[in-house]
Chains A and B, each alone.
Chain A
Amino acid sequence: NSKVIQTPRYLVKGQGQKAKMRCIPEKGHPVVFWYQQNKNNEFKFLINFQNQEVLQQIDMTEKRFSAECPSNSPCSLEIQSSEAGDSALYLCASSRLNTLYFGAGTRLSVL
């Protein structure tokens, strides 16, 4: 079983509000990923980084999403101003030897 821990499991926000979710990657895994899974079961890569540095991110992420992985603290993904279309399951994964191990996810509902 994965040892990636995501909190909270559920998050409810109004439009325009900030939404922040956290992830503790598995120990010894150097790269952390964030994915969004929508109601159609489609996965969208958002961002990944190694230690404190962003490796790749999509355009959407650059504008309203921010992520960080400070040393000795949980990683986080924050949506600055939530929109209805952001309602989805957000998955954090940490990677070792090119295999991703996922947390249980944070389900965001934007009302």
Chain B
Amino acid sequence: GDSVTQTEGQVTVSESKSLIINCTYSATSIAYPNLFWYVRYPGEGLQLLLKVITAGQKGSSRGFEATYNKETTSFHLQKASVQESDSAVYYCALSDFSGGSNAKLTFGKGTKLSVKS
């Protein structure tokens, strides 16, 4: 089946430093899945951060970027300069959408980002 791997369960970064959160995927049901980053801020629900549906394209939101790399099957999340307000849990996910309305997401286990001032 499909799977998503986030190698770091927790990451601590100093404010204004750069960030990269690793995500790799394996999609057996579809050659080019749609890829997503979701974020859960403390005390809040799961929110869509960004999505990319085309291999080779980059998505961006709130200063975060992620590039869909089909060669390395990766979708790493990056930010040039983090702020304390970025502290949250970040989830990488893929969708086995193939044109139907019943596409469902496969999630990674999440990476907790702590930004220290």
Contact B45 A41 (CB under 8 A): no
Is B102 a contact of A48 with CB atoms below 8 Å? yes
**The one of A2, A40, A42, A56 that contacts B47, using a Cβ cutoff of 8 Å:** A2
Q: Known contacts A30-B101, A98-B95, A99-B51; is A42 also within 8 Å of B45 by CB? A: no
B48 at the interface (CB under 8 A from A): yes
Pair B102/A99 contact, Cβ less than 8 Å: no
Interface residue stretch chosen among B11-19, B77-85, B103-111: B103-111
Q: How many residues of B contact A (CB 8 A)?
A: 22
Contact of B45 among A33, A40, A43, A102 (CB under 8 A): A102
B97 touches A98 (CB 8 A): yes
Q: Is B71 part of the contact surface with A, judged by Cβ < 8 Å?
A: no
The distance in angstroms between the C-alpha atoms of A91 and B47, with both chains bound, is 12
Which residues A32-53 have CB closer than 8 A to chain B?
A: 33, 35, 40-43, 45, 48, 50
